[in-house]
Structure 1
Amino acid sequence: MKLKAFTSLFLIQLGLMAAPVKAQQLSTSDSIDTFLKNKMRQRHIPAMQIAVVRGGKIIKDTTFGVANLEYNIKASGETVFSVNSITKAFVGVAVMQLAEEHKLKITDHLSQYLDSLPDTWKNITLQQVLTHTSGLPDVMDAEEQVIGHNDEQEAMRKVKALPIEFKPGEKFRYNQTGYVLLGQIITRLSGMHFTRFIEERQFKVAEMKLTRFGDSYDVIPNYAGAYTMTRQQGDGFVRNSTPGQAYMQFPVFFRTAAGIQSTATDMANWIIALKSGMLLKQPSSIDLLWSPAILNNGNIGGFNRLTNGYALGWPTVTREEHPAVGPVGGGRSALFVYLKDDLSIVVLTNLLQGNPDQFIDEIAGYYIPEMHEANGFGLPKNLKTLRAALLKQGFDKAIPVTAQLKKKDPSFSLSENELNGWGYQLLSQKNAQAALSIFKLNVVLYPQSANAYDSLAETLEATDNRAEALVNYKKSLALDPQNKHAANRIQALADK
């Protein structure tokens, strides 16, 4: 049984090293296009834009799909998408611009710039606010709506009456309140509304000609709109079979948290301007901008295993291989800057569950081949060690090879969930026999796991080993009598 969907395009060895440079670039672009079109089909994404930056230039800039499903309007390079929370990265740059002008320091307390704060808020730093480690109560309610009926004064009055959620610096918890406060500070220190400050100091400087602030209730030329695969039914949500309309409202005072509408081309030009010193003059400012916050316990905190840290408005992909900063927005847009690779990738979509951050590393693999999933990129350290050994000795030797590795290093261990995920990843890469070996290893290591037997049975069934599949489904059901998937497959196989 899948704990998580693992999908990737089966990679074809193209022999590009001998091809002329122009032909190689064309072939790479064509391969990416095929990959992205498959992702759009799998995830029901109506429209997508991609821009790739290398060497200070945009080397790929492509648009696919339909911007407006109601009127069947094709997306173009001028189609404008909401970048949602990627807006926070612009706020981080704005704060650092003010820091370079000596108008603030990120270690300053909120109370140095804002009056009438609750006592528990006064010693929270700008850095803690920017990195979501402040402990502030959230101005968003349980239904993801801004409290206070979109009125700034009412919203601030209500949120100030709420208790602080944790000691500042204690943990990472995504929070919109701090960005509303940052908007107030930027407005006060710059002498202009924060939206205008960002427009003047970033949009115009980077020549982001189609970029603006707005939401679903503004008239935005060439707007791609927003779609979703879920709809509310009673107290919960159900999944649609096709995308349905979604509406997003970002009150003006809230538009430091979300609210920028842009194109992949404009976003790529913004990255170029940032990295070339047009927006921030001092390299140390960018280093600070992209450094994840260190919590009180010495660790970093972030959204998930991929975007595992958070800097000044920028989520970070903190890892040994190909680290990146990766702002994401609304589950629909992502922007990854690979810090050691002279590569940046922007992917914008109009589907709230498009989640391009989940496959943007695979796009990077077309420029840096070792980053392809099929080459082992993204696997945990111990799985990479196992993979290297199995490539030499054969995947059918997974069980004895694991025993050898454990004997050599008693601390060597393999997580059930990681093995399960890798097995499904191998299946998606059309390597069923390798996947089967990994699932067999998993049941040996975790003989009391119903899920491990279920995954093995599912793979055996997919490879036409029905009798053996039935045996393992029965083992899974015995361990977990509530496993409906195993029960259904036992009945289905018994009927054949």
Structure 2
Amino acid sequence: MNLKITASTLLIVGLLIPAFSIAQQLSTSDSIDVFIKNKMQQKHIPALQVAIVRQGKIVKNATYGIANLENTITATDESIFSVNSITKAFVGVAIMQLAEEGRLKITDPISLYVDSLPATWQKITLQQVLTHTSGLPDILDAEEQVMGHGDENEALQKVKKLPLEFNTGDKFSYNQTGYVLLGKIITKLAGMHFTKFIEERQFKVAGMKLTRFGDSYDVIPNYAGAYTMTRQVGDRFIRNNTPGVSYMQFPVFFRTAAGILSTATDMGNWVIALKAGKLLKQKTSIETMWTPAILNNGKIGGFNRLTNGYALGWPTVTREQHPAVGPVGGGRSALFVYLKDDLSIVVLTNLMGSNPDQFIDEIAGYYIPEMHETNGFGLSADVQKLRLALLKQGFNNAVTVSTNLKKKDPQLNLTENELNAWAYQLLKQKKADQALSIFKLNVALYPKSANAYDSLGEVFEITGNNTDALLNYKKSLALNPENKNALDRIKALSN
């Protein structure tokens, strides 16, 4: 059929394209709303803000829930959340600003700028301090409180008496002492207190109108507060059924480590300003700031499998697919800047332990579908190979498929923990049959693992097969007589 193109046809098509685009954006936005509300319910998060940046602008900006549980105050876009250790990323920017101005080099020893340091600290560099590879003793005590009862001199005198925790550069170990020293260095070189320098050179430049420094002892308008699902009883932490109030104290000298309060909108504007060259003029400065430290053994080190590296104040998500830098704070706030994608996502919450870094990738999946967990994103390269083969040949053939893959590629490494985690993902996705196949595979590959049998017993119990559940719990207990879960389930299923 020949189609005659007319002016009116072009007009209609021109109208339909933006209409479709808007509808698509609305659908994506609505889907994210549903996902976030479900996640908040699962994790008991009182309030959450999200800001999503694409093409140099915020394309989604939303707030959900209750900012203040005590007075049932609804959260708004102007509710202010503590970003905790995301503050360190601002410090990274501040140090690079001073480097661009020629006032320091990140390879300089800290002793060049701070007097009266112990001899063992003298050669530690700014870069090693920024990346938590210094080996410095931590200025936090056993109770996770800042030493010195809020007094900077007392805190520093105490920590200086402690030995180095390891040889500089040997490993990554999260440490607050170095950031206190960085605060002193910024103050000295900038000619103003580090809080003022960050306010002037970052908050104001990026248009962060509601952002400030503070803690629970400050009166903060529209503060969303801090809540926790755990409480300490003696030496143990007990999980509550509902959130309880949490208090945070960040002495002024400690506020390079944690101390910024902000909104998702402000944080989104900060990312926009940073990527637009308003905070750092040279592209190489950002590249340096986002490059993870290399340890003495040639590897990188970070918090966990996801945030597996650490750069200059910025944790890194170093991976082949959709790498990112991902500052996290207090287990309650996270910011991911995807390095190869035009996408940045800010999630702020008021619940310690909500760990939004664990579900930011899933939010990204609404813009980049391959990043959805259901599409296998986040699995290791070897487990992804197994997944693709199983999708073609059937999950019921998991043992045979994995055996054949191993024959073709002897280097294939299907670890017990990865398979176990994937199986639980499948279970969460309501794919119980597929999950069962992977749990069975894990037992076949790791027949001496009590945990593998325990997990298989659990999925059998969930699917109503109590006979096989009991059998596998007993195998688990035989391998590990101290497995309390297996013992409890055996008793429950035997009655």
Range class of TM-score, shorter chain = over 0.9
Change (3 A) 1:371 1:18: farther
Q: Please state whether the residue corresponding to 1:20 is helix, strand or coil.
A: helix
Aligned partner letter, 1:86: I
Partner of 2:218: 218
Partner of 1:264: 264
Partner of 2:4: none
Which one is further off, 478-487 or 22-31? 478-487
Offset from partner CA, 1:352-398 (integer Å, 9 cap, x none): 11100011111111110000110000101111010010011011110
Which runs of 5 or more residues in structure 1 are unaligned? Answer: 1-16
Change (3 A) 1:475 1:19: farther
Q: Please state whether the residue corresponding to 2:335 is helix, strand or coil.
A: strand
Which one is further off, 194-203 or 166-175? 166-175
Matches within 5 A, 1:54-65: 54-65=54-65
Partner of 2:433: 433
CA distance, structure 1, for counterparts of residue 213 and residue 492 of structure 2:
54
How far has the Cα of 1:407 moved from its partner? 1.3
CA distance, structure 1, for counterparts of residue 127 and residue 473 of structure 2:
52
Partner of 2:14: none
Task: Tell me, yes or no, if structure 1 residue 242 matches structure 2 residue 242.
Answer: yes
CA distance, structure 2, for counterparts of residue 469 and residue 251 of structure 1:
53
Partner of 1:338: 338
Q: Please state whether the residue corresponding to 2:31 is helix, strand or coil.
A: helix
Partner of 2:182: 182
Aligned partner letter, 2:413: S
| Residues paired across the two proteins, number | 479
TM-score between the two structures when normalised by the length of structure 1: 0.95
Matches within 5 A, 1:45-444: 45-444=45-444
CA distance, structure 1, for counterparts of residue 475 and residue 166 of structure 2:
45
Change (3 A) 1:19 1:445: farther
Change (3 A) 1:119 1:482: closer
How far has the Cα of 1:119 moved from its partner? 1.3
CA distance, structure 2, for counterparts of residue 216 and residue 440 of structure 1:
49
How far has the Cα of 1:117 moved from its partner? 1.2
CA distance, structure 1, for counterparts of residue 491 and residue 140 of structure 2:
47
Q: Please state whether the residue corresponding to 2:297 is helix, strand or coil.
A: coil
Offset from partner CA, 1:110-145 (integer Å, 9 cap, x none): 121111111111111111111111111111111110
Q: Please state whether the residue corresponding to 1:63 is helix, strand or coil.
A: strand
CA distance, structure 1, for counterparts of residue 172 and residue 474 of structure 2:
42
CA distance, structure 2, for counterparts of residue 462 and residue 24 of structure 1:
37
Q: Please state whether the residue corresponding to 1:277 is helix, strand or coil.
A: coil
Partner of 1:14: none
CA distance, structure 2, for counterparts of residue 187 and residue 491 of structure 1:
63
Aligned partner letter, 2:366: Y
Which one is further off, 412-421 or 206-215? 412-421
Which runs of 5 or more residues in structure 2 are unaligned? Answer: 1-16
How far has the Cα of 1:156 moved from its partner? 1.1
Offset from partner CA, 1:160-199 (integer Å, 9 cap, x none): 1111222221111111111111111111111111000000
CA distance, structure 2, for counterparts of residue 425 and residue 356 of structure 1:
17
CA distance, structure 1, for counterparts of residue 470 and residue 137 of structure 2:
51
CA distance, structure 2, for counterparts of residue 270 and residue 325 of structure 1:
14
CA distance, structure 1, for counterparts of residue 287 and residue 388 of structure 2:
34
Q: RCO higher in 1 or 2 (8 Å CA, sep ≥ 6)?
A: 1
How far has the Cα of 1:323 moved from its partner? 0.4
CA distance, structure 1, for counterparts of residue 398 and residue 248 of structure 2:
49
Aligned partner letter, 2:82: S
How far has the Cα of 1:480 moved from its partner? 2.3
Partner of 2:5: none
Offset from partner CA, 1:385-439 (integer Å, 9 cap, x none): 1001001101111011011111112222311111111111000011000001111
Partner of 1:5: none
CA distance, structure 2, for counterparts of residue 166 and residue 467 of structure 1:
51
Q: Please state whether the residue corresponding to 1:149 is helix, strand or coil.
A: helix
Q: Please state whether the residue corresponding to 1:223 is helix, strand or coil.
A: coil
Q: Please state whether the residue corresponding to 1:413 is helix, strand or coil.
A: coil
CA distance, structure 2, for counterparts of residue 152 and residue 460 of structure 1:
57
Change (3 A) 1:105 1:43: same
Q: Please state whether the residue corresponding to 1:82 is helix, strand or coil.
A: strand
Q: Please state whether the residue corresponding to 1:163 is helix, strand or coil.
A: coil
Offset from partner CA, 1:311-352 (integer Å, 9 cap, x none): 000000001000000000000000000000010000000011
Q: Please state whether the residue corresponding to 1:243 is helix, strand or coil.
A: strand
**Percentage identity across paired residues of the two chains:** 75
CA distance, structure 2, for counterparts of residue 19 and residue 477 of structure 1:
60
Runs of 4+, deviation exceeding 4 Å: none
Offset from partner CA, 1:435-490 (integer Å, 9 cap, x none): 01111111111112222112112112222222222222222222223323223323
Partner of 2:8: none
Change (3 A) 1:398 1:19: farther
TM-score between the two structures when normalised by the length of structure 2: 0.95
Q: Please state whether the residue corresponding to 1:148 is helix, strand or coil.
A: helix
Partner of 1:466: 466
Partner of 1:446: 446
CA distance, structure 2, for counterparts of residue 439 and residue 288 of structure 1:
43
Task: Tell me, yes or no, if structure 1 residue 493 matches structure 2 residue 466.
Answer: no
How far has the Cα of 1:204 moved from its partner? 0.2
CA distance, structure 1, for counterparts of residue 285 and residue 253 of structure 2:
26
State the superposition RMSD in angstroms: 1.3
Aligned partner letter, 1:137: P
Aligned partner letter, 1:113: Y
Aligned partner letter, 1:81: F
Aligned partner letter, 1:356: P
Q: Please state whether the residue corresponding to 1:345 is helix, strand or coil.
A: strand
CA distance, structure 2, for counterparts of residue 210 and residue 236 of structure 1:
37
Aligned partner letter, 1:305: R
How far has the Cα of 1:19 moved from its partner? 8.8
